[in-house]
Structure formats: structure tokens, C-alpha cells
Amino acid sequence: MISGDMEKLYPSAKTLVKECVASRVHAKDATLFDFSEQAQACAERYMGWTDLASNPPYPLADIQAFADSIIEQGLKTVVLIGQGGSTQAPMTITKYNKPDSSRIVFKTLDSDSPVRVRAILAEARPETTLFVISSKSGGTIEPRLALRAVRDAVGDALAEEELMQHLVAITDPGSDLERQAREEGWAAVLPGEPSVGGRFSALSVFGLLPAALVGIDLEELLEHAVEAEKRCSEDAIDNPAIGLAAFLYDNYLQGRNKFSFLTPKRGRVLGLWIEQLVAESLGKDGQGILPNIEIDSLLLTNDPGDRSVIMYQTKTDLWDERKNFEMSLSYIDPTIPRANFKIDSVEELAEHFVMWEYAVAMCGYLMRVCPFDQPDVASAKAVVLDILKEGQPAPDFVQDYIGDVHMGEVEVRLAPCFKDCTDVQGALRALLTSIQPGDYFALNAFLPFTGEGRREALELIRHGVAASRHTVSCLEVGPRYLHSTGQLQKGGQNNGVFLILSADELKDIPLSEEAESLGTLAKAQASGDLLTLADRGRRCVHLHLPDNSGVTLRALSEVITGILATLN
């Protein structure tokens, strides 16, 4: 059962027990969020997640039977195409399971990077690959256009009629995706539950089909979740969800509006799921709690005062890796509040999905924010669609890229507070200088994270800012973060500083509708992010680079490293 401990009991735990919040969440009592008509109405529509394990809306046996039939057909690879809540839990489950066993190769495509799309398709033979298109609304632009790109790419290997038997849709009833799948005769359409929002859908068919496909026993997985539902719905001080909610909220009241998530490598994929759940659910109305994933513990040797620590021990077979993680924890200032958890098996993930979902709903109650909507995500989507229709906004200036060697030109777009800047170095210096105590920095990158030197250069920027400016520093993968921390960045407190990166594609993937290419879509999303953040008074700069090569990104990291050295 849920294994965890905290150093003390936090005061709001007693409030949650006294006001019977846990049992009311389990009972889907929307009046918990009656602080506004909109919040209560939203809760009435989206609290179906509270008993997904004990009352699954779709028969587990049917999901398991379908997954088994796929394997029996000789399919060896599954590519899940989706975005946000439709892919984050499946990615967590399947990646966490991979070191132990997996009867198929499972890949997630939630990127509009042509480099990423080509890399996935190069490793999958169309004849033995199942493509699962996962979208609650059925209208999200990224999976819609990614599917078009995939269909064009595999068209030479599979006839149209044969391809239909390699396509599966997971979507809510009545969506455009359901209509398309039925009209075209796809292999299957699995219905989602409309009363469950995307980021709360881990234990719905959106998460359960991927789990079954990689060989996880659904009955055992849900047994863990049922027990967690019982514990997390009790109005008792030892309810783990109440303890976690109180830890998050009471530290938030003390100015610790961020937490560092520390775990061995295997657990980081759970951190990405937690990141979306917490940031998108609570980051609105000028409030929010920022999860900081993949943190260097050396940055916590002195208490910065604005964060807490959540630590997860995960099953790790290598002694050296376990010892390395334990040693890293010894550097953390003991005055930083800390909560500790442990996961020993993939089935135990279900318990922590439940605990975090209940805890976040309780935090919403305490913070008086609706945890089930995402208004700023929707507004950012609208801006992107306008850009795709009307064209890119003009850059504030264009200049030769950094250094003496001509590498092409960079387009620069600036928030109003930086409009006086006339060159790249000046814009970056102004952006980095604006970071104040209590702020956080986010590198929002619409770039491929694979390939030599790319991620390393971006990590150098992220860690350089964290160490030099003594601030939380996040590396966010576009467009994924738009459906995750993007809500907090736009709707939360105005304490974020944002560098947005996109790049021309050396070998783009053309599209026939809505966008000229996947690269065009990525650039529109980056520009739209700048416009939406700037409209909310955020400090942000968008650099559209001449290409996304490792050397180009390294040149940028060297410039930023040089600027940071002068600011100390």
C-alpha cells in the first residue's frame, strides 16, 4: 500500500478531516467548489475520476481481450499518438514498466518535431505496428496533424484498406475522431468517459489499454487502485492524500510555491505526470504550485526559502545507481520541508495516481481554484489557430546568428518589457537580469530532444540559469508543456521568466491541410506562446533559430553561459 512519510503533520490536514473533504470528493460533491458558479459547474461535469478503479466505466476484460488479440496478430510495436493528458499517464506506465518486461515495443508520439516523427517511424515496420490515436475531444491539433503525417509516411508500405486495420481510436463518444474512425473502418474505437478530464484519466481506458498492451495485469493494477481509493476517501488524519495536500498547501502558504521532485532515473517519468496534474490543475487565478522535475540536488545545499522537496524511491536493480541517488540526497539542506514516497512495482503506480488526484482536488478546495479546467490552455490554442490562418507575426528584429561563423539568421520576438532590445545578446541579458528572488525560469523548447548534442546544450542552459541566478529552472518540451505547465505559466502568479526556442527544419514534413508542415505548426505554437504570455504581462523572449542542430544549440548555450558569468 502507499508507502510514504512526512516530517510532521501540517495544520490544514485537520481542516480537511473536519470538513469531510476526502469523502465529499469521493462522493463527487461539486459543492466543495461553490466559491464560484463556474467552478461548481465545472466540478459537476468532471468528477468521474474519483471511483474509476472501483467502478470502471469500460469492462477490464474487454480491454484485456483486445490487447491480447493485438499481440496474437503478430503486431510488435505500438505508437501512441496524442497530447497532454491522453499521453502522459500511458507514457508513465509503459516507460516505468519497460525495465521489467514488455511484450511489445511501445512508443509515444506527442511531438510535432519532424526529427522525432521520422525517428519513431524509422524504428517501426508499418506491417507490424499498431497506431493508437488518443484524444478525448478528438479535435486537438497536434495528434490530428501527426496522424496525417504518419498516414502519408506509411502509405507506400500499406494499402489504405490494410492501414485501417492498424489504427485504433481512444476518444470520448460523439467526437470527430470517433466519427472518422467509424466511417473509415478502423480496427477499434474505445470510448472514453466524458466525466473524466484528460489529466485525471490515468486509470480510464486512456491509461489501461496501453498498460494491457505492454503486458501489465489490469486486475492486479486496479486492485492497488481500489485500495488507494478507500484510503484516500477516508476523513482521517492518516489518509495519505490528505497528508500530501496539507504538505503542498501549507508550504504554499509559507511562500514555498514550488517543489523539487527527486527520484532515481526510472521515476522521472512519474514526475512528468505529476507536473501536469499539479501545474495545470492549480495554476490559475494568479495562484499555483510549480513542480520542478529532474533537479540537481546540489542546488538545494542551502534552503532558498521558496520550495519544498518531494522524493520518490523507485525500484532500481543496480546497486551503484541506488547508492548514487542516496548520496545525492545527503546534500539537501535539512531545513527544506520534505515528503518521501516509495514505489516498488509498476502496479503500485496506480496507488500514487489516486493519491495525487485526490490531493490535488483537495488543494483546489483549500486554494479556492477549480482543479478541473484549463482556461489559459484553451486561449493559447486559439492564438495558434489564428497564426496558422493569418500567418506569422513579424519578428521585432532579425540578425545573423551568434558568433563569427555565419550559421544563418535568428528571428527575435519580444515581450513589451524588452522592446528596447536590438540584438540577441541584449535581449537575453535583459531577460536573465529580470530574474528576481522567488522567480522561476523556464526554457520552453519546440525542438527535438534526440540527436547528438541537442539535449546536452539545453540542459547546460537550464542548469546554468539555476546555479547562477539561484532560481528554479525548468526545461519544458514543446508542445507537451502547453497542455501542462503552460496553464501555470499564463494563469498563475507572475513570477516566471521564459525563453522560448523554435527552429527551421532542415527536412520538414509537409501537410496538406491546416498547416503547411509540422515545422510550421511548431513555429506557430512558439509564436503563439510568446503572444499569450506577453498579453498576460510575462517576461518572455522567443528565438526562432536557423536550424536545430546540436552545434547551433551549443552556440546559444555558450552565449547564455557567458552572460550569466557577467551577472554574478
Compute the 3-state secondary structure of the chain and give helix, strand, coil in percent, each to the nearest 5: 50, 15, 35
Over residues 2-16, the pLDDT tens digits come to 766 676 789 999 999
Q: What is the pLDDT of residue 404?
A: 73
Residue 559 inside a domain? The answer is: yes
Q: What is the largest CA-CA distance in the chain?
A: 67
- Grid coordinates representing 119 are 525517428
Question: What is the amino acid identity at position 506?
Answer: L
**Total-model pTM:** 0.97
Q: What would the mean pLDDT of 420-427 be, rounded to a whole number? A: 96
Q: Which of 150-154, 226-230, 317-321, 387-391 bottoms out in mean pLDDT, i.e. has the lowest? A: 317-321
- Rounded to 5 degrees, φ, ψ at 293 are -95, 150
| All residues at 6 or more sequence positions from 440 whose CB lies less than 8 Å from its CB, including other chains | 258, 290, 292, 471, 472, 473, 474, 495, 496, 497
Q: Which of 350, 46, 359 is nearest to 196 (CA)?
A: 46
| All residues at 6 or more sequence positions from 72 whose CB lies less than 8 Å from its CB, including other chains | none
* Domain housing 536: 375-566
Q: What is the pLDDT of residue 502?
A: 98
Residue 22 inside a domain? The answer is: no
- Rounded to 5 degrees, φ, ψ at 159 are -65, 155
Query: Residue 164 and residue 199: Cα distance in Å, rounded?
Result: 28
Over residues 212-264, the pLDDT tens digits come to 999 999 999 999 999 999 999 999 999 999 999 999 999 999 999 999 999 99
Please tell me whether residue 547 adopts helix, strand or coil conformation.
coil
Q: What is the pLDDT of residue 523?
A: 97
Q: What is the pLDDT of residue 7?
A: 67
Q: What is the pLDDT of residue 1?
A: 65
- Grid coordinates representing 47 are 468528477
Distances from the Cα of 473 to the Cα of 40, 97, 380, 476, angstroms: 34, 29, 22, 10
Question: What is the amino acid identity at position 170?
Answer: I
User: Residue 323 burial by CB count (10 A; 0-12/13-18/19+): exposed, middle or buried?
Assistant: exposed
Q: What is the pLDDT of residue 406?
A: 78
For 31-60, the DSSP string reads GGGTTSHHHHHHHHHS-GGGGTTTS-SS-H
Over residues 456-488, the pLDDT tens digits come to 999 999 999 999 999 999 999 999 999 999 999
State the total domains in the chain: 2
Residue 257 inside a domain? The answer is: no
- Contact indicator for 198, 85 with CB cutoff of 8 Å: yes
Q: What would the mean pLDDT of 20-39 be, rounded to a whole number? A: 98
Residue 337 inside a domain? The answer is: no
Q: What would the mean pLDDT of 49-62 be, rounded to a whole number? A: 95
CATH classification of the domain holding 481? 3.40.50.10490
Q: What is the pLDDT of residue 402?
A: 80
Query: Residue 214 and residue 106: Cα distance in Å, rounded?
Result: 7
Whether 379 has a pLDDT exceeding 90, the answer reads no
Average pLDDT, the chain: 94
Q: What would the mean pLDDT of 494-502 be, rounded to a whole number? A: 98
Point out the domain boundary residue: 174, 189, 221: 221
Residue 153 inside a domain? The answer is: yes
Q: Which of 287, 314, 319 is nearest to 97 (CA)?
A: 314
Residue 20 inside a domain? The answer is: no
Distances from the Cα of 417 to the Cα of 152, 398, 541, angstroms: 43, 18, 10
Whether 377 has a pLDDT exceeding 70, the answer reads yes
- Grid coordinates representing 140 are 486537438
Q: What is the pLDDT of residue 8?
A: 75
Point out the domain boundary residue: 184, 205, 221: 221
Residue 131 inside a domain? The answer is: yes
> Binning pLDDT at 50, 70 and 90, where does residue 345 land?
very high
Residue 234 inside a domain? The answer is: no
Whether 493 has a pLDDT exceeding 70, the answer reads yes
% of the chain beyond a pLDDT of 70? 99
Point out the domain boundary residue: 193, 221, 249: 221
Residue 239 neighbours by CB distance under 10 Å: 27
